Chains A and B, each alone.
Chain A
Amino acid sequence: MGPEILRDLSFAIPRGSFQFLSGPSGAGKTTLLRLLFMSLKPTRGLITIFGKDRSLITRRDLPMMRRRIGIVFQDFRLLDHMTTYENVALPLRVRGRDEASYRSDVTELLKWVGLGDRMHVLPPVLSGGEKQRAAIARALIEQPEILLADEPTGNVDPPLARRLLRLFIELNRLGTAVVIATHDLGLMDQVDARRMILSNGRLEIYD
């Protein structure tokens, strides 16, 4: 077993809340997000997700649970052989939905994130900011109950970072709980929101 990354953390993410998760590089922000996304299991401790004990959630149940969570990865994780539209529509496609039933929703969302004219482009020709927005759109397409975003403004210039932040705020207004992992203090200063600061494996919360 490796070193303990996180210890003695106790917190809740209320429905419809908005918070930043911050801390120096290597503090464990990504690890904490992965624990919330259930792609990691804690070595000890209790995590309750949507009222269920994480340790009792089976691998078979995971996909259904994950459909209630949107995640934006630091490295986007877009599939290069699919267009922006297809990447954003992927969560719906894997559920077996007919394309006609979601076409207009995806198109509308892509316009909302400013990618209306980049729908049929493959990710390798998108800029960093465009990829970031496509990844965000993919996380939002199913209107998740909670959105986890790992450094969502890490690859974009300040004006675009502000624009993406507004996008998250608007999503939060529509009822989604948002957790943004960032070490960008400038970004956090733009919104008066709850701050969760990780340091040396411990968490301090500033409401």
Chain B
Amino acid sequence: MTDMPAVEQVAVPSAPAKSWGGRRAAPIVPEREIARNALMLVVAIMTFLSCLTLGAVTLVRDTSASWQTQIAREATIQIRPEEGLDMEAALEEAAGIARDFAGVNSVQIVDREATARLLEPWLGSGLDLDGLPVPRLVTVTIDRANPPDFEAMRSLLTERIRTASLDDHRTWADRLVAMARSTVMIGVAVLGLILAATMLTVVFATRGAMAGNGHVIEVLHFVGAEARFIAAEFRRHFLITGMKGAAIGGGAAAVAFAAFGFWAGRNLATPEADQATALFGNFAIGAAGYAGVAVIVIAVASLTAVTTHLTVIAFLKDLDVRQPDS
């Protein structure tokens, strides 16, 4: 190497650094508003839908449990009228029999007025029960933890009062339990599908948002950045985006639950609320529902980060095995 020209500019004395202190360094991963907002929106929507489904499943599960509890807490003695039967005496006797059984908390005869009220929707007001062969009822409230011997009670009742029968609601309760179980299972299946759709949507949205960053990964790789450094930078960036989206979706779902609960509380005496209460009991998502929302939010945000990590690692692997192209 000879005849090398002299270098014009060398060894410039080191100048005092400019005012770097006040300036924040650009992030390694560029901020792409549109891609980031689109990803955040997708994550928010899918998180919201997942949380709503979870809330609905929680509600159905709690409600079905309360149906079973309420029905299993009562039994009914029915006495049909017949010639020569002193209905009032029979009612008292039936109540006495029931009261003597262990596991019975209280016994109440449905009196004439209450019976008339029960029949009022069908037979109108001002009903004279004496003119009609209307069966009469005795409600027996039982101790669920220590239920009475229904078979013994049934045989004793029919032995003493020929037209008495005891309904412990078992058939009805069994059907209800079966229905509630299948409802909860359907709900869990729907939740599973929604969560699977959320996972796939979040994975593809994250990959889409990552697609524009290939050149950044490439440059970082070529200036000697280690794979874990690059992956960590992207993971952090997308984790924050995922967390924001998931928090928005989860937060909106929690607000929706609270709003429904508030509405139901405010409209206790209205027909709409009665309808909702008849179906769902107290419309309230319990602590488990809110905990589920938190779990979904964390899971979705983590999924975003894990997808980013895997995408970066796959991209880097691809960079190092690429075949000659020129």
Contact = CB atoms under 8 A, between A and B. Distances in A.
A167 B10 CA distance: 9
B320 to A, nearest CB: 6
Interface of B is mostly: loop
B130 interface: no
12 contacts: A30-B326, A38-B320, A59-B227, A63-B225, A66-B222, A67-B224, A77-B215, A78-B219, A90-B219, A93-B25, A105-B14, A107-B17
A38 B10 CA distance: 31
Contacts, number: 128
A138 interface: yes
A152 interface: no
A73 B224 CA distance: 15
Question: Range of interface residues on chain A?
Answer: 35 or more
Contacts of B1: 18, 169, 172, 191-193
A184 interface: no
Interface of B: 1-12, 14-15, 17-18, 20, 25-28, 30-31, 215-216, 218-227, 229, 316-317, 319-326
Nearest to B222: A71
A103 B216 CA distance: 22
Contacts of A166: 4-8
B210 to A, nearest CB: 15
A26 B325 CA distance: 10
B3 to A, nearest CB: 5
Interface stretch (A45-53, A80-88, A124-132): A80-88
Contact of B229 (A94, A103, A112): A94
A40 interface: yes
A91 B227 contact: no
3 smallest beta-carbon distances between A and B, as pairs: A94-B225, A81-B30, A67-B224
A54 to B, nearest CB: 12
A83 B225 CA distance: 19
Nearest to B218: A77
A62 B26 contact: no
Nearest to B25: A86
Contacts of B216: 79
A169 B5 CA distance: 9
A170 B7 contact: yes
A162 B5 CA distance: 9
A5 B326 contact: yes
A41 interface: yes
B224 A63 contact: yes
A83 B20 CA distance: 12
A114 B9 contact: yes
Contacts of A95: 224
Contacts of A138: 223
Contacts of B11: 112
